[in-house]
Structure 1
Amino acid sequence: MPASTEASMTMGAVSAVPDLDSRMAPGGPGYRRMSFALFLAGVATFALLYSTQALLPLISGDFGVAASDASWTVAAATGALALFVLPMSALSERYGRRTVMTGSLAVAVMVGLLVPLAPSLPVLVALRALQGAALAGLPASATAYLAEEVRPKALVTAIGLFVAGNSVGGMSGRVITGWVAQEWGWRVALGVIGAIAVGCAVAFRLLLPAPKHFVAGSLKPRVLVRTVREHLSNPLMCRLYAIGALFMTVFGGVYTVIGYRLTEAPFDLPQGVVGSIFLVYLVGTVSASTAGRLVGRLGRRGALYAAGATTAAGLVLSLADSLVLVLLGLVLITGGFFAGHACASSAVSKTATEGRAQASALYQSAYYIGSSVGSTVGALAFHAGGWAGTVGVGLLAVLGVVTITVLGTRAARAQQRLLAA
């Protein structure tokens, strides 16, 4: 990056290199509070963001719409998050990570209390889009906060714990809504999730330690544009962004459609049982939190290959008309996805020596664009070709992950040969 005062101001939050001994590390002061606070933020984010996903069959029935129409209650939220994550990351550079995360959660939970009152599908979709835009302040700000406040060797583990919170939020939100909706309807179920998110938001603000290494940056548009352009001109960063988007395309498609498949023949499961299927998110909690060890053993690219292969195996297994095999397939899909996501997102934070908030924001934007594409295209594929159509979309996305990782491996070897010469 050009050595200018303006550029320095922009990335002051990360270019000012702190004393590594003063950063948080496992077992050190504040680390547990920080981890639990961001874990709760992850719980609230995913519980709210995907709160309608397990309820789509009920929403379809209530409003008399097809799966592809109801899926917009998910796609609108994730799409709005993708659009607003970069501007919100710029605000976090100026006003602080904790401030932006707190404000984002506050707005999102307030909207969450209004969502159950939506009188029509268009109003519901609009409220969900507003909720997604509010939640945009969480993902990039959280990873930037961790990159600044946690020692580098502990970064993958710390981000893995935040991602684990995502998985717990996604799981609990779907399980709770499934059983509550079975007894009292989808509106009451969404109200319960909103109330839980309020509690998470309050605890998050009380627990998260004040940042010690943040330095306010500039909000000048040309500085932001320059930083974004530099990240997008980095081939490694672009590969990581594409990998995040493709993994989320698989995940978004599978979990948007799975409720329809399991409530139809040959399974004919009740809504509460379908909601409980999302307990497999616990696998994601484990795989995300252990991603650091996986990278340590296999390297980043090896871990991505393993995650892709695991996800593909799960997709193929899920084609069976056996509930046991479908569940096993979901376990593999979930484990592979969360491991790949934790690996790619932590690699972005480690690769970006400047502009970490923007680097993380671009990753999150690509990631949630993948979610929107996956939920919409997956639903359309299900409408056109049944579950096999959704699986086909997922396998194409996994093939994209493997192809990009192969290209990255070749690029790394070529660079090593140049250095050796």
Structure 2
Amino acid sequence: MPAADTKASTPVGADPVPSVDSRMTPGGPGYRRMSLALFLAGVATFALLYSTQALLPLVSRDFGATASAASWTVSGATGALALFVLPMSALSERFGRRTLMTASLAVAVTVGLLVPFAPTLGTLIALRAVQGAALAGLPASATAYLAEEVSPRALITAIGLFVAGNSVGGMSGRIITGWVAQEWGWRVAVGTVGVIAVGCAVAFRLLLPTPRHFEPGSLRPRVLARSVRDHLSDPLLRRLYAIGALFMMVFGGVYTVIGYRLTEAPFSLPQGIIGSIFLVYLVGTVSASTAGRLVGRLGRRGALYLAGGTTTAGLLLSLVPVLPLVLLGLVLITAGFFAGHAVASSAVSHTAKRGRAQAAALYQSSYYIGSSAGSTLGAVAFHASGWAGTVGMGLLAVAGVVTITVLGSRAARAERCLATA
């Protein structure tokens, strides 16, 4: 019998056998391992990326630098990530998501162990930029991995868990560095984060299931340029990229400057207590992981309106010079940001049908450009006008989110009218 005849075929007149979706679903094989692996990758990414943010007053004091100069230890890392995330996504298309994420984490944690020995502020900023460039291989590759390996119905929840890992990493990194720095200085603090990230990286590599649906793409610049052009020509994707950048401007500005505000009168808090303030990141863990249910109830635009309104309320509340109200304001800002980020990033993965890694990379690039800009502009505004200046910058960014969402709603209604005409 010829080899071709050995293939299973559908008998004439019989109903076709439906194809079985082998992608992971909650409760299914590999889903828990995958969720934990990417959760730990998210922890390591944010812990490393923002390891100096809670320590900026100490960095300023050690090097005799201003707040805006020290803020470049954060902006340099996030800016480099934004610059390298697209090239890294192209490498992931060729060599695989898991391979690139593993290599990126390996380089980032190695640099993390060198950061404590930086002799000058310039060297520290340079090392942090290298670290940010290495971490660029994580975000876009992770969301592309999820889009390929997880059932569409579970995608928002899975991405929400990855984002929740980001929030836990950001929180734990800042709390640990705050208390360690209070006793032994900022250098020991960032070194401690580096050691923790090593553990996360090893566990990630051991836990993440082998991809089953990855198909290698091309590294040719022309193919990459065409994919980028196609994504940027999509009005919905452009709006989502802008929303991610604007949300992150608020978040980056607030958390870069909050340490300076809380060390000054009328609060005058010690470094350990300031680090513990970042426990509010737990709120972000919850809001990110429940983003799927929020979209199910309110729709994507409704969820974005709610996230923007929550962030605005938090910014306004933080203006009151009473510590409990400032903390409540940070809770609202954090909840609004992580919900908005989870909704926007999952919408990008759902919208892009081809070149998902590039689509996710463009979102991440916009997102971290927003972080870098927010960190720098927030510090400049604080230097010029105090906390009110940083809040003013944040309110303008949220106004941009709301405006873009309104324009998106109008565009969607216009498309529906054309479709029914």
> Shorter-chain TM-score category?
over 0.9
Residue 21 of structure 1 deviates from its aligned partner by 2.2
State the one-letter code of the partner of 1:190: V
Residue 61 (structure 2) aligns with: 61
| Alpha-carbon contact 1:78-1:372 (below 8 Å) kept | yes
Secondary structure in structure 2 of the residue aligned to 1:268: coil
Residue 68 of structure 1 deviates from its aligned partner by 0.2
Residue 19 of structure 1 deviates from its aligned partner by 5.5
Residue 413 (structure 2) aligns with: 413
- Rounded to whole Å, the distance in 2 between the matches of 1:62 and 1:338 is 32
Residue 351 (structure 1) aligns with: 351
* CA deviation vs aligned residue, 1:149-177 (integer Å, no higher than 9, x gap): 00000000000000000000000000000
Residue 400 (structure 1) aligns with: 400
Residue 319 (structure 2) aligns with: 319
* CA deviation vs aligned residue, 1:190-234 (integer Å, no higher than 9, x gap): 000000000000000000000000011100000000000010000
Change (3 A) 1:48 1:172: same
* CA deviation vs aligned residue, 1:300-340 (integer Å, no higher than 9, x gap): 00000000000000000000000000000000000000000
* TM-score normalised over the length of structure 1: 0.96
Residue 289 (structure 2) aligns with: 289
What does 1:19-418 correspond to in 2, within 5 Å?
21-418=21-418
State the one-letter code of the partner of 1:58: L
Residue 11 (structure 1) aligns with: none
- Rounded to whole Å, the distance in 1 between the matches of 2:61 and 2:377 is 21
- Rounded to whole Å, the distance in 2 between the matches of 1:266 and 1:42 is 35
Change (3 A) 1:234 1:213: same
State the one-letter code of the partner of 1:286: V
* CA deviation vs aligned residue, 1:68-97 (integer Å, no higher than 9, x gap): 000000000000000000000000000000
Change (3 A) 1:320 1:308: same
State the one-letter code of the partner of 1:353: K
Alignment coverage as a number of residue pairs: 404
Secondary structure in structure 2 of the residue aligned to 1:134: helix
Secondary structure in structure 2 of the residue aligned to 1:176: helix
- Rounded to whole Å, the distance in 2 between the matches of 1:301 and 1:190 is 39
- Rounded to whole Å, the distance in 1 between the matches of 2:64 and 2:20 is 57
- Rounded to whole Å, the distance in 1 between the matches of 2:212 and 2:20 is 12
Secondary structure in structure 2 of the residue aligned to 1:210: coil
User: What residue ranges of structure 2 are gaps of 5+ in the alignment?
Assistant: 1-17
Residue 10 (structure 1) aligns with: none
Residue 9 (structure 1) aligns with: none
Change (3 A) 1:350 1:20: farther
* CA deviation vs aligned residue, 1:238-296 (integer Å, no higher than 9, x gap): 00000000000000000000000001000000000000000000000000000000000
* CA deviation vs aligned residue, 1:359-415 (integer Å, no higher than 9, x gap): 000000000000000000000000000000000000000000000000000000000
- Rounded to whole Å, the distance in 2 between the matches of 1:216 and 1:354 is 13
Residue 12 (structure 1) aligns with: none
Residue 14 (structure 1) aligns with: none
Q: Percent identity?
A: 82
Residue 140 of structure 1 deviates from its aligned partner by 0.1
Secondary structure in structure 1 of the residue aligned to 2:21: helix
Change (3 A) 1:272 1:215: same
| Alpha-carbon contact 1:89-1:137 (below 8 Å) kept | yes
- Rounded to whole Å, the distance in 2 between the matches of 1:43 and 1:32 is 16
| Alpha-carbon contact 1:20-1:151 (below 8 Å) kept | no
Residue 20 of structure 1 deviates from its aligned partner by 5.7
- Rounded to whole Å, the distance in 2 between the matches of 1:369 and 1:217 is 26
| Alpha-carbon contact 1:280-1:331 (below 8 Å) kept | yes
State the one-letter code of the partner of 2:26: P
State the one-letter code of the partner of 1:256: T
- Rounded to whole Å, the distance in 2 between the matches of 1:304 and 1:391 is 20
State the one-letter code of the partner of 2:223: V
Secondary structure in structure 2 of the residue aligned to 1:28: coil
- Rounded to whole Å, the distance in 1 between the matches of 2:57 and 2:394 is 21
- Rounded to whole Å, the distance in 2 between the matches of 1:165 and 1:178 is 20
- Rounded to whole Å, the distance in 2 between the matches of 1:247 and 1:215 is 33
User: What residue ranges of structure 1 are gaps of 5+ in the alignment?
Assistant: 1-17
- Rounded to whole Å, the distance in 1 between the matches of 2:19 and 2:367 is 32
- Rounded to whole Å, the distance in 1 between the matches of 2:64 and 2:83 is 29
Secondary structure in structure 1 of the residue aligned to 2:265: coil
* CA deviation vs aligned residue, 1:90-125 (integer Å, no higher than 9, x gap): 000000000000000000000000000000000000
Secondary structure in structure 2 of the residue aligned to 1:21: coil
State the one-letter code of the partner of 2:184: W
* CA deviation vs aligned residue, 1:331-358 (integer Å, no higher than 9, x gap): 0000000000000000000000111000
- Rounded to whole Å, the distance in 2 between the matches of 1:24 and 1:236 is 27
State the one-letter code of the partner of 1:164: A
